[in-house]
Chain A
Amino acid sequence: MAIFDIFLLEALLNGVLLGGVLALLSLGLNLIFGVIDVVWICYAELIMLGMYGMYFLYTVYHAPIVAAAAVCIVAVAILGVLLHVLVIAPLLGAAPINQLLATGGVLFFLQSAATVLFGVEFKNLGLRLPVLKAAGMFISYSRLLAFVAALVGMVLVYLFMTRTYTGTAIRAIAQDRQIIPLMGVNSRRIYLVTSALGGGLAGLAACLLVLQYDVHPFVGLSFGPITFLICVLGSLGNFVGGFVAAFVFAEIIALGGLYLDLEWGYVFAFAFFIVMMFVRPEGLMARRS
């Protein structure tokens, strides 16, 4: 087999692995938007805090890595609830622009707070995971692990959303907010659960990203924008759309990176997004209403 085909296959596979993590990222944001009807502009900054959590627990305080991950997931879930209670809930009836400004303000607040508290140096876990070699391809173990964990996370969310009463109510409230009290559902409670779930997903994403990337106060800028683009491309609030769009984006990035380099992959992905916004402004999975 030509060496070129191996590279192509490797790029495709890396695209799939990246897609899993991007899908996880977009799921949390979509969930919040679909259910509460606000956009957490500061979503990626919650992830940044989670990455710092992992760095301190694992690298500085030498906690076992699985325990550190569990603590981070729970802690970011609590941050999600706090964000809802302190910032979102008081603005639920306000104009969308005010909600955007408020969560945008939280973004700058968290970036500045992280700069003050942790400094601007890049930190990493100092964990070197092996690279697997199979059929002539090199696949990083940390990417594989992140992919599998992201899939497991998404399957758990899927089961929660389809099998439990609370999960069913979360889907229902996204479809008809007004009549939800008639079902005996307290929407305030559902919003809290959803915020915890969105935060928990950000926490899980943090644990997976910190395996591959250094953490610094502005790391949110590396994956916040792409997460928004994925959600918009998949039609904001549409879980399946976000999932599909994540893999489309990831493949563009990975294949673009194969022919030029990784930055070019991102350029292609953003260019694709802009073109798609002209062709299908409501996103790939827009519903006819």
Chain B
Amino acid sequence: MLALKSVRADYTTFQALFDVSLEVRQGEAVGVIGPNGAGKTTLMRVVSGLLRPTGGSIVMEGVDLVKTPPHRIVELGIAHVPESRRLFPRMSVEDNLKMGSFMRAARPKFRRRLDVVYELFPRLRERRAQLAGSMSGGEQQMCAIGRALMSEPKLLLLDEPSAGLAPVVVEQVFDLVTRLRAAGLTVLIVEQNVQQVLRVVDRAYVLKAGRIRAAGAAAELLASDTIREAYLGI
């Protein structure tokens, strides 16, 4: 479904990704794990078009994402839940969700998708008129994921959805990933919460200092002593 080949990404004076190749197949949940500063967020940003890669190719279902304008990438079925949620804080929950339906193809489906999201997160329905910035961290994460789901994506990119949340809420977030997969969504998730994310994904890549250092089935990575010691710190 999504394939990155030898992707390179740079910030003005700093190279953040080196020769990154990665694949996500239809229906899979794939994790990218690695320490702070490894380049995980950068990886998500080059896929969703927020940052242009300086080399390599990114292809979604045959379409070259590097040549696609950033605002058209969501039309290909890719929804990105950015790091630290990035809701529109002074807009209501429902207006935030409406922004998730902005693209032409999603507008006629707005009401239907709203029901789907409210079904998934009843809490958001209760708070639909509240300013997004006034909610708790967990509720904001639900709203951010809900906003991404409004466009009825095929591939969901989650950037550290559990960061800064209480342990109970972290559980809920990982449960949600499992439920979304069961509903047929393909998921690419970036996490520092290594042990928990490896329980909900099929495969994972280990990213460190901008390079893929290891990859494999989640169970294998969890079991492999060398990888645990060298990269996961558990």
Q: Which residues of A contact B (CB under 8 A)?
A: 165, 168-169, 171-172, 175-176, 178-187, 287
Contact B100 A183 (CB under 8 A): yes
Tell me, in angstroms, the Cα distance from A172 to B91 when the chains sit together: 8
Tell me, in angstroms, the Cα distance from A180 to B107 when the chains sit together: 17
What is the distance, in angstroms, from A198's C-beta to the closest C-beta of chain B? 20
Q: Please give, as numbers and ranges, the residues of chain B lying within 8 Å of A169 by CB-CB distance.
A: 99, 102
Contact A175 B70 (CB under 8 A): no
Contact B107 A165 (CB under 8 A): yes
Tell me, in angstroms, the Cα distance from A187 to B49 when the chains sit together: 14
What is the distance, in angstroms, from A170's C-beta to the closest C-beta of chain B? 11
Contact B50 A168 (CB under 8 A): no
Q: Please give, as numbers and ranges, the residues of chain B lying within 8 Å of A178 by CB-CB distance.
A: 50, 86
What is the distance, in angstroms, from B160's C-beta to the closest C-beta of chain A? 15
Contact B91 A175 (CB under 8 A): yes
Q: Which 8 A-B pairs have the closest CB atoms?
A: A184-B103, A181-B70, A184-B74, A175-B88, A181-B71, A186-B71, A183-B99, A172-B88
Contact B74 A176 (CB under 8 A): no
Q: Which residues of B contact A (CB under 8 A)?
A: 48-50, 69-75, 79-80, 82, 86, 88-91, 95, 98-103, 106-107, 147, 151
Contact B71 A176 (CB under 8 A): no
Contact B86 A185 (CB under 8 A): no
Q: List 28 A-B contacts (CB under 8 A).
A: A165-B98, A165-B101, A165-B102, A168-B99, A169-B99, A171-B88, A171-B91, A171-B95, A172-B91, A172-B95, A172-B99, A175-B88, A175-B91, A178-B50, A179-B50, A179-B86, A181-B50, A181-B74, A182-B50, A182-B80, A183-B103, A184-B71, A184-B74, A184-B103, A185-B71, A185-B102, A186-B71, A187-B71
Q: Please give, as numbers and ranges, the residues of chain B lying within 8 Å of A184 by CB-CB distance.
A: 71-72, 74-75, 102-103, 106, 151
Contact A176 B86 (CB under 8 A): yes
Tell me, in angstroms, the Cα distance from A185 to B88 when the chains sit together: 14
Cβ-defined partner of B74 (8 Å) among A171, A175, A183, A187? A183
Tell me, in angstroms, the Cα distance from A10 to B48 when the chains sit together: 59
Tell me, in angstroms, the Cα distance from A187 to B69 when the chains sit together: 11
5 A-B pairs besides A175-B89, A182-B80 with CB distance below 8 A are: A171-B88, A171-B91, A179-B86, A184-B71, A186-B71
Q: Please give, as numbers and ranges, the residues of chain A lying within 8 Å of B72 by CB-CB distance.
A: 184
Tell me, in angstroms, the Cα distance from A186 to B99 when the chains sit together: 12
Q: Please give, as numbers and ranges, the residues of chain B lying within 8 Å of A183 by CB-CB distance.
A: 71, 74, 99-100, 102-103, 147
Give the interface centre of A179, A182, A184 by most chain B CB atoms within 10 Å. A182
Cβ-defined partner of B82 (8 Å) among A172, A179, A185, A287? A179
Q: Please give, as numbers and ranges, the residues of chain B lying within 8 Å of A172 by CB-CB distance.
A: 88, 91, 95, 99
What is the distance, in angstroms, from B72's C-beta to the closest C-beta of chain A? 7
Tell me, in angstroms, the Cα distance from A181 to B50 when the chains sit together: 7
Tell me, in angstroms, the Cα distance from A181 to B102 when the chains sit together: 10
Tell me, in angstroms, the Cα distance from A186 to B89 when the chains sit together: 20
Tell me, in angstroms, the Cα distance from A184 to B79 when the chains sit together: 10
Tell me, in angstroms, the Cα distance from A171 to B86 when the chains sit together: 14
Q: Please give, as numbers and ranges, the residues of chain A lying within 8 Å of B82 by CB-CB distance.
A: 179, 182
Tell me, in angstroms, the Cα distance from A287 to B133 when the chains sit together: 12
Tell me, in angstroms, the Cα distance from A287 to B90 when the chains sit together: 10
Q: Please give, as numbers and ranges, the residues of chain B lying within 8 Å of A171 by CB-CB distance.
A: 88, 91, 95
What is the distance, in angstroms, from A260's C-beta to the closest C-beta of chain B? 41
Tell me, in angstroms, the Cα distance from A172 to B80 when the chains sit together: 16
Tell me, in angstroms, the Cα distance from A180 to B70 when the chains sit together: 10
Q: Please give, as numbers and ranges, the residues of chain A lying within 8 Å of B100 by CB-CB distance.
A: 183
Chain B residue at minimal CB-CB distance from A178:
B50
Q: Please give, as numbers and ranges, the residues of chain B lying within 8 Å of A182 by CB-CB distance.
A: 48, 50, 74, 79-80, 82
Q: Please give, as numbers and ranges, the residues of chain B lying within 8 Å of A181 by CB-CB distance.
A: 48-50, 70-71, 73-74
Give the interface centre of A171, A184, A186 by most chain B CB atoms within 10 Å. A184
What is the distance, in angstroms, from A177's C-beta to the closest C-beta of chain B? 11
Chain B residue at minimal CB-CB distance from A189:
B71
Q: Please give, as numbers and ranges, the residues of chain B lying within 8 Å of A175 by CB-CB distance.
A: 88-91
Q: Please give, as numbers and ranges, the residues of chain B lying within 8 Å of A185 by CB-CB distance.
A: 71, 99, 102
Tell me, in angstroms, the Cα distance from A244 to B85 when the chains sit together: 32
